[in-house]
Amino acid sequence: MKNETLATIADILPPSAPVSAQNNIGLFMFLLVLSLSIFAYVNFYRSYKQQLQRLKKGYRQKKINQRQLAFKLIHLLKKKSISSDDKIRQRLFEELNTQCQAACFSRNGLSENAMDNLFERVKQWI
């Protein structure tokens, strides 16, 4: 190639990063991977009992109503049921799921005693 074409190509290409910025790329990648792993741990690897306790606490403090609580319990039960293959546990899951759907879609909802019993049964199932 001619020197003139090489010069025009060099003008088009962006300049290389300074040496100080190149050394920080490893640090930025490490921080990115660290933050993503912390995010994954917080969102996906919390124990089911902790999630159940948070739901119960939110319900007791009236932050969520019974219908929202029942939907979240169904979601929690479905996440946990995927990991179990036992037929007895699957049958119990279906029973608990039915009770949660009754709490979701019934006009009056469930009584406080029924909700406490549901919490205890879900806690035992988990």
Q: How do residues 35-77 score in pLDDT, each as one tens digit?
A: 998 888 777 666 777 887 888 888 788 877 777 877 787 777 7
Instruction: In whole angstroms, give the CA distance from residue 73 to residue 60.
Output: 15
Domain ranges of the chain: 12-44, 48-125
The answer to whether 70 touches 103, Cβ cutoff 8 Å, is yes
Burial of 112 (0-12, 13-18, 19+ CB in 10 A): exposed
Tell whether the model's pLDDT for residue 113 goes beyond 90: no
Structure tokens given for 40: 């994954």
The answer to whether 119 touches 56, Cβ cutoff 8 Å, is yes
End-to-end CA distance of the chain: 71
Q: How do residues 16-45 score in pLDDT, each as one tens digit?
A: 766 665 667 788 889 999 999 888 877 766
Tell whether the model's pLDDT for residue 114 goes beyond 80: no
